[in-house]
A and B are shown apart, each in its own frame.
Chain A
Amino acid sequence: MPPSDGKVLVLPAPADRCPFDPPSAYQQAAAAASVTRTELWDGSICWLVTGHDEVRTVLGDQRFSAEPHRPGFPFLTPGRRQVVVDNPVFLRMDDPDHARLRRMLTGDFLVKRVEEQRPAIQRIVDETLDRMVAGGSPADLVTEFALPVPSLVICELLGVPYANHEHFQQLSRTLLDTSKSELEVGTAQRELRSYLTELAEHKRREPADDILSRLANREDLSPRETAASALLLLVAGHETTANMTALSTLALLRAPEQAARLRSGETTAKAAVEELLRYLSIVQIGVPRAAIEDLTLGGTRIRAGEGVLCMLSTANRDDEVFPDGDELDLDRDARRHLAFGFGVHQCLGQPLARAELQIALRTLFLRLPGLRLAVDEAELTYRTTMVVHGVDSLPVAW
């Protein structure tokens, strides 16, 4: 690999443009070439992949490994290294180990299984909105709606008591915060894992109809693997959807004519959510892989043992696939977006995330037609050091 030009890429790069747009560091790389070299915090050099086609190729090709012990695997921050090493989660395994562990969970996220849950999700959305409205206008949409809805949904599915939500939400935030030290991240991960291990032991004695009970009672799964899988579902299950809900609401408040079409049903919630997923691409940190064979990607020679980072946010703005990709257009066909990743690791929970977002956004805008920001937009602050992009708080009135 050629030497780097000495510029170190900070991940996630500082959001220096519109809060919905990928940071200019990613955009500049994308404008230069779909595959460029970059230097990371630890002095390692890796390939930054920004084009739609190239990101799909990397994530869909098992010659790029997801295992962090592979030579060249890029660690995005010291805290990320702490998270991915020593955590037997299938997200960071290759097949056949990955497939063995993932398939234990696929039954719970089948499209038809999630469709059956729509009435239950609608009830959670309605009740959460009732509570927010009863609390009076204005309110913080993040703490009163966007975060409770997916937390309640995943708690019920997984079998985690919602009463513990402050505890696990705080640990989860630390886990995903790139500004935290390795020590802080490691402590949060151990604490969350031991909480879930204890809960799994309880479920072994008294099983209920939930995912954790089913995992805890499998003989082919070690307690460590059970806790790691549960941790992934719990964290991914609420952080991503919560941030998507709040940021989507803000994006729609800034595009009132598009929000009006969603309200009238002219634009379906289904189409709107696909475009919001594409446009917001909240996983703003790169998806890491290590090449295990020599190969050519977008005209660039990549060798075994070199690291690769796939930027979903720039891939989702690729003008060749999404004309005027920097524009939010709820009526475009955005289904080719890569917001959930691609390849065998593509988000397992995506049918659930889609159902939650469709129901939450449609219900929010229908029930509160006067929904508006309660502060000046310039006062809003964003989660710039988080693996998953979002807004810190979203004061709204109605």
Chain B
Amino acid sequence: MLVTVDRGRCCSSGQCVLTAPTVFDQSDEDGLVEVLQPTPPAYLAPDVRLAATLCPGRAITVT
């Protein structure tokens, strides 16, 4: 599983951090999404997929 983000679409709602806090963070500088683990372990897949679904800016892609 590979997690990529389009920071241009991020609106800093924080859904990803609330849903998968070990995979996503928000930058201190501009509040935009940061990926802590681009290839997270399989047990985190449901959370990561939910985070992508919940992202209001559709900034997260999981492949």
**Residue of A with least CB distance to B24:** A111
Q: B56, A60: Cβ atoms under 8 Å?
A: yes
Q: B50, A335: Cβ atoms under 8 Å?
A: yes
Check A111/B18 contact, CB under 8 A, given A102-B11, A106-B12, A106-B31: yes
Q: A103, B31: Cβ atoms under 8 Å?
A: yes
At the interface, yes or no: A336 with Cβ under 8 Å from chain B? yes
At the interface, yes or no: B5 with Cβ under 8 Å from chain A? no
CB-defined interface of A93-114 with B at 8 Å, one 1/0 digit per residue?
0000001001100110111100
At the interface, yes or no: B17 with Cβ under 8 Å from chain A? yes
Report chain A residues within 8 Å CB of B26.
110-112
Report chain A residues within 8 Å CB of B17.
111-112
At the interface, yes or no: B19 with Cβ under 8 Å from chain A? yes
**Residue of A with least CB distance to B19:** A335
Q: A103, B19: Cβ atoms under 8 Å?
A: no
Q: Kindly provide the distance from the CB of A361 to the nearest chain B CB, expressed in whole angstroms.
A: 18
Q: A336, B53: Cβ atoms under 8 Å?
A: yes
Interface centre among B9, B15, B25, B28 (most CB of A within 10 A): B15
At the interface, yes or no: B54 with Cβ under 8 Å from chain A? yes
Docked complex Cα distance between A109 and B26 (Å)? 10
Check A351/B14 contact, CB under 8 A, given A103-B31, A335-B19, A344-B56: yes
Q: B56, A351: Cβ atoms under 8 Å?
A: no
Q: A99, B11: Cβ atoms under 8 Å?
A: yes
Which residues from 6 to 24 on chain B have a C-beta closer than 8 Å to any C-beta of chain A? Answer: 9, 11-15, 17-19
Report chain B residues within 8 Å CB of A350.
13-14
Report chain A residues within 8 Å CB of B28.
107, 110
CB-defined interface of B20-62 with A at 8 Å, one 1/0 digit per residue?
0000011010111000000000000000001001101110000
**Residue of B with least CB distance to A338:** B56
**Residue of A with least CB distance to B30:** A103
**Residue of B with least CB distance to A340:** B13
CB-defined interface of A344-378 with B at 8 Å, one 1/0 digit per residue?
11111011001000000000000000000000000
Check A110/B56 contact, CB under 8 A, given A335-B19, A350-B14, A351-B14: no
Q: B14, A109: Cβ atoms under 8 Å?
A: yes
Report chain B residues within 8 Å CB of A111.
14, 17-18, 26
At the interface, yes or no: A343 with Cβ under 8 Å from chain B? yes
Docked complex Cα distance between A107 and B30 (Å)? 7
Q: Kindly provide the distance from the CB of A238 to the nearest chain B CB, expressed in whole angstroms.
A: 20
Which residues from 306 to 347 on chain A have a C-beta closer than 8 Å to any C-beta of chain B? Answer: 335-336, 340-347
Q: B56, A103: Cβ atoms under 8 Å?
A: no
Check A343/B14 contact, CB under 8 A, given A112-B26, A335-B50: no
Contacting B54 at CB < 8 Å: which of A59, A99, A336?
A336
Q: Kindly provide the distance from the CB of A110 to the nearest chain B CB, expressed in whole angstroms.
A: 5
Docked complex Cα distance between A364 and B36 (Å)? 37
Q: Kindly provide the distance from the CB of A106 to the nearest chain B CB, expressed in whole angstroms.
A: 4
Q: Kindly provide the distance from the CB of B11 to the nearest chain A CB, expressed in whole angstroms.
A: 4
**Residue of A with least CB distance to B21:** A111
Contacting A335 at CB < 8 Å: which of B12, B54, B57?
B54
CB within 8 Å of B: which residues of A? 59-60, 99, 102-103, 106-107, 109-112, 335-336, 340-348, 350-351, 354
**A and B contact pairs by CB, cutoff 8 A, 30 listed:** A59-B56, A102-B11, A103-B30, A106-B11, A106-B12, A106-B32, A107-B28, A107-B31, A109-B14, A110-B14, A110-B26, A110-B28, A110-B31, A111-B14, A111-B17, A111-B18, A111-B26, A335-B19, A335-B54, A336-B53, A336-B54, A341-B56, A344-B9, A344-B11, A344-B57, A345-B11, A346-B11, A346-B13, A351-B14, A354-B18
Known: A336-B54, A346-B15, A348-B13. 5 other contacts (CB 8 A): A110-B28, A112-B25, A335-B50, A343-B56, A344-B9
CB within 8 Å of A: which residues of B? 9, 11-15, 17-19, 25-26, 28, 30-32, 50, 53-54, 56-58
Report the 6 A-B pairs with minimum CB-CB distance, sorted nearest first: A106-B31, A106-B12, A346-B56, A111-B14, A111-B17, A344-B11
